[in-house]
Structure 1
Amino acid sequence: MSEGSTGTETEQVVRPEEVGIELSERQALRRVAGLRTELEDITEVEYRQLRLERVVLVGVWTEGSAEDAENSLAELKLLAETAGSEILDAIIQRRSRPDPATYIGSGKVAELHEIVEATGADTVICDGELAPSQLRNLEDRVKVKVVDRVALILDIFAQHAKSAEGKAQVELAQLQYQTQRLRGWGGNLSRQAGGRAAGGEGIGGRGPGETKLETDRRRIQAKMAKLRRELAHLRTTRDTKKANRRRNEIPSVAIAGYTNAGKSSLLNRLTGAGVLVEDALFATLDPTTRRTETSDGRVYTLSDTVGFVRHLPHQLVEAFRSTLEEVGDADLVLHVVDGSHPDPGGQLAAVREVFADIEAIQVPEIVVVNKADAADPVTLARLLAREPHAVVVSAWTGEGIDELLGAIEADLPRPAVLVTAVLPYERGDLLNQIHVSGDIESLDHEADGTHVVARVGEQLAHELAAYTV
C-alpha cells in the first residue's frame, strides 16, 4: 500500500498478526480518562502558559491487561509533567505490535492530527522508543514535534543533573541517542562541503569532502569521546574513595529502587543526611553516601542511587554504569518499592531487570516496602507473601524503621577471622579499627593491655598478628 493511502483503506486490510485482536479494538483509539492536567488557579495558568509544552500522550497496547496499559500511560503522564508539560489528552491504540512506519498506523495518524489541532497541542509524546523513520513520519503527518519515551527521560535527567559527573553522563546518553537520529532538513544537510558560494567553509573546506550530515556525526563522535575521557577521570576519584572504604573493611549498603519510591526520604530517616526530597521522578541523579553504624557499633555506609523506571533507556544504563555500579559493588541492597503504587510488583521486576544488566542480581537484597501510611493493606499482604525477605516501612512517619535497622544489622557481612589479642594501651588506633570494622565478642582492660576477642577482616587480622595470644 502506498504511503499516501487513506486511513479508511488502511483499516480495511487485516494483517495476519492482527487476527487475534478484536476488530472493534483495532479500529478505535481509546481515550484514557483522568490524565488531563488540571490548572487550579490563575497564577498556575500564567506560569504554564509561559513555560509548559502542551502535550498529547499516545500509547500502543500490545500485551497485558487494559489496566497495565493505563498504568503505563499514567507513568508517562508523570514523566511528562516532571519534564514540564501540560497534558491535554491521552489515547491508547490496541495492536499486536507498533506499526513499523508510524507507530500507530497511518489511518490513526489522521485521527491523532485532528486531536492535536482540536486541543492546540504543540507536542506528541509516544509511550515507546521510536525508530528514526517512525519519528520522521509522525512529525511530517501530525505537523508538531514528536518525542518518544527515551527522549523524554533523557530530558528529565538533563534538567536534574547537578554534579559534573551527572551532567557528563546525561550529555553522553543524549549524544548516543541523537547520533542515530540525525536527519537532513531539505537539501541543506545533504550537500557536500564546498566553497562559500556552496555554503562551505572556505579554504580547506572545498572539494568533494563530507556531507553536512557526516560532519555533524563526526563532531558528535568527537564530543562523546571527550565525555568518556572526563567520566573515566571522575570515576577514578570515586574508585579511590571506594578503595579507602574497602581497605578499612567498611561494609556498604546501597538504596536502590524505582524512581519516586522514597529512597532519599529513607536515607534521611536512617542517617539524617538531609538530601533533596521531592515528589517528582528522578529527583536524585547524583549518589549520596553517608556513614552510620549498627546498634553494636559496627560502621557501614548507606548510598542513595539514581531511580529506575520501566524500559530505562539503554543509553542511560551505559552512561550511568559507573554510578549504578554502586549497587553491584555493595554488600547489601535495600530495594525500595512504593507500596501505594497500583503495580508495585511491576516496579520490582523493572528494577531487577536493571540489576541483571549491571550484574548486581547476586547482591543480597532486602525489599523495603515504603509509603505504608498510604498503601492498601491487601496490596501489602500480597507483596509480603511474594517477597518473604521484606520489611514494611514509612519513611514519612517512621513506621517500621527499627525493624528495618534490625534486618540491615542481621544481613551485613560479619568479619571472618576470629582473633584473641592483647593490645598495648599505646595501640589505641588498632582498638579503634576493631570497634569500627570488627565484631567484638569480649573486651577487658587489664594491667598489661586491652584483652580483646573479636571477629575482624583479613587485613586487620594481619596487623593484629603481633599481639595475638
Structure 2
Amino acid sequence: MKEHDTHVTRAWVLHPDIRFERDRRDADMALEEAVALAAALPNLDVAGATVVPLRDPHPGTLFGSGKIEELRARIEAEEIELVLVDGPVSPVQQRNLEKAWKVKLLDRTGLILEIFSDRAATREGVLQVEMAALSYQRTRLVRAWTHLERQRGGLGFVGGPGETQIEADRRAIDEQLVRLRRQLDRVVKTRELHRKARAKVPYPIVALVGYTNAGKSTLFNRLTGADVMAKDMLFATLDPTMRAVRLPTGIDVILSDTVGFISDLPTELVAAFRATLEEVIAADIILHVRDISHPNTAEQARDVDQILTSLGVNEDVPLLEVWNKTDRLDPESHDAMQARADRDEGVFAASALTGAGLDTLLRAVTDRLQGDSIEEDLRLGFDDGKRRSWLFGKGLVLDERQDDDGSLLRVRWSATDRARFQTL
C-alpha cells in the first residue's frame, strides 16, 4: 500500500467492543478514530465500519461462529479486500479469520506499522519503522510456532512440521535487526552531533506535543511559515521537524513539531520512536496542543501525559496547554472554554487555523523562557567578536563603551540568555 500503487483497496473497519475489558473506550469514538487511522493510508477506500459487541473473545477466531458468518456475508456483498480490526489479533485468529472471510486482515498494530512505514521521512524514522515491523513479525512467528507445537502434541524436543522454517525465519529476522540496530546507532550518533551543534546556537527549544490530529502541524506552520504537511489526518507528521523562528515578541527559539501520540500505541513503536522524541526531553518549554473540540479531549490529554512521563520528561520543564480548535466550538461552549482557560495561567484557548489567542500564548512562552530580566556589566576582549555579535544579535545590549582592553557592555538579559552566553 505504498504511494506508487494505483490499485485502490476496499476496506472494512471492525472495533471489537469487549464488555469486560479493563480500560474500555467509548466504542463509537474508538471506531471513529480507527476509521481515521485507516484513512491515513493511501489507496485505501473505507467502505464501511462496524462496532462488534463481544462478551468474551474467542481464542481461535476472536468472534463467535454466528458473528463470523454474518460479517462474511457483509464482506462478500461489499466486495471487501481488507478487514482492519481495531485491537490485537493473534496469529491464529488472523489466519482463521482470513480463511473464513477470504480477505487480508490487519490488526491495530499492523495498521499503525503500515502508516508509520508510509509516512517516515528521515533515515532514522525509516530504520525505526523497519525495526518495529520486524519485532512485530518476530513475536507473531514465536506465537505461531508454539501453536504448531500444540497442534502436533509432544513436548517440543523433536522438530515438528514447520519448525525448521520458522526457526530460519526467526534467525533471519534477528540478523536483520542486528544490522538495522548498527545503522540506527550511526544515525543517532550523527543526530547527537547535530544536537550538540544546535546547543551552541543559543536558542531555547519549544516542543509541540499532543494527541495525533490535535493541530500541532497547523500551529507549527502558522508560527514558522513552513510547509509542513498539516492534513486532517492521523499521523500526518512522523519525524520531528525543527525550525529556528523569531516569535512576534522578538525572541528567537527553535520550534520542534513531533509525531502525534495515540492511545494503545503498539509497544514495538513506543520503543522504536523514543529516540525520535528526544527533542521533547531536551526542550526548554513544552506546548501540549489539545483538540479541545474533540469529545474525548480529556482522555487524549491523559494519554499524552502518560507518554511524556514514560519518556522521562523533567517535571521542571514548563508545560503550557494550548486548547486548540476553538473555532470549531459553538459560541456558548467557546465562551465557557475561554473562561476556564483565563482562570488557569498554564492554559491558553487558541485556534491555530485563525490565529485567535496565539499572541497571548506567545507572550506567555516568552515570559517563561526569559523569566525576570536583570541588568549586568560585561567586559569582552577585542578577540571576543563572536560573543559580542551574539549579544547584539539577540538585542540584549543597552550600552557599549570601548577602552584599550576591549569593550565594556551593559546588558539586560534573562537567566536563560545568561546560561546560553556562558556556553559560547
Q: TM-score range by the shorter chain?
A: 0.7 to 0.9
CA drift at 1:144 = 2.0
RMSD: 3.3
What secondary structure is seen at the aligned counterpart in 2 of 1:141?
helix
Correspondence for 1:137: 96
Between the two structures, name the one with larger relative contact order (CA 8 Å, sep ≥ 6): 2
Q: Deviations over 1:230-263 (max 9, x none)?
A: 1111111111121223344431111111222221
Query: Matched residues in 2 for 1:215 and 1:418: separation?
Result: 69
CA drift at 1:162 = 2.1
Correspondence for 1:372: 326
Residues 373 and 412, structure 2, Cα contact 8 Å, conserved in 1 = no
The answer to whether 1:358 aligns with 2:311 is yes
Counterpart of 1:157, as a letter, is: F
Q: Which has the larger radius of gyration?
A: 1
Name structure 2 gaps, 5 residues minimum.
152-160
Residues 11 and 84, structure 2, Cα contact 8 Å, conserved in 1 = no
CA change 1:413–1:318 in 2 (3 A) is farther
The answer to whether 1:445 aligns with 2:400 is yes
Residues 417 and 457, structure 1, Cα contact 8 Å, conserved in 2 = no
Residues 135 and 146, structure 1, Cα contact 8 Å, conserved in 2 = yes
Corresponding residue to 1:398 among 345, 351, 355: 355
TM-score (norm 1): 0.75
For structure 1, which segment, 286-295 or 208-217, has the greater mean C-alpha deviation from structure 2 after superposition? 208-217
Query: Matched residues in 1 for 2:362 and 2:8: separation?
Result: 43
CA change 1:299–1:56 in 2 (3 A) is closer
Correspondence for 1:15: none
Query: Matched residues in 1 for 2:420 and 2:366: separation?
Result: 22
CA drift at 1:97 = 5.2
Q: Counterparts in 2 of 1:141-290, with a 5 A limit?
A: 141-182=100-141, 183=144, 211-290=164-243
CA drift at 1:427 = 3.5
CA change 1:330–1:462 in 2 (3 A) is closer
Query: Matched residues in 2 for 1:264 and 1:94: separation?
Result: 36
TM-score (norm 2): 0.82
Residues 10 and 79, structure 2, Cα contact 8 Å, conserved in 1 = no
For structure 1, which segment, 262-271 or 451-460, has the greater mean C-alpha deviation from structure 2 after superposition? 451-460
CA drift at 1:56 = 4.2
CA drift at 1:108 = 2.1
CA change 1:103–1:241 in 2 (3 A) is same
Correspondence for 1:91: 50
The answer to whether 1:115 aligns with 2:70 is no
Query: Matched residues in 2 for 1:49 and 1:447: separation?
Result: 70
Correspondence for 2:7: 50
Counterpart of 1:325, as a letter, is: E
| Identical counterparts, % of pairs | 39
CA drift at 1:433 = 3.0
Corresponding residue to 1:78 among 24, 30, 36: 36
CA change 1:426–1:247 in 2 (3 A) is closer
Correspondence for 1:39: none
CA drift at 1:413 = 5.8
Query: Matched residues in 1 for 2:182 and 2:66: separation?
Result: 47
CA drift at 1:90 = 2.2
What secondary structure is seen at the aligned counterpart in 1 of 2:355?
coil
Query: Matched residues in 1 for 2:372 and 2:268: separation?
Result: 38
Residues 340 and 376, structure 1, Cα contact 8 Å, conserved in 2 = no
Residues 113 and 133, structure 2, Cα contact 8 Å, conserved in 1 = yes
Q: Counterparts in 2 of 1:327-346, with a 5 A limit?
A: 327-346=280-299
The answer to whether 1:68 aligns with 2:26 is yes
Correspondence for 2:157: none
CA drift at 1:222 = 0.9
Name structure 1 gaps, 5 residues minimum.
1-47, 191-207, 464-469
CA drift at 1:409 = 0.7
Residues 175 and 220, structure 1, Cα contact 8 Å, conserved in 2 = yes
CA change 1:66–1:421 in 2 (3 A) is closer
CA drift at 1:383 = 8.6
Counterpart of 2:401, as a letter, is: E
CA drift at 1:297 = 4.5
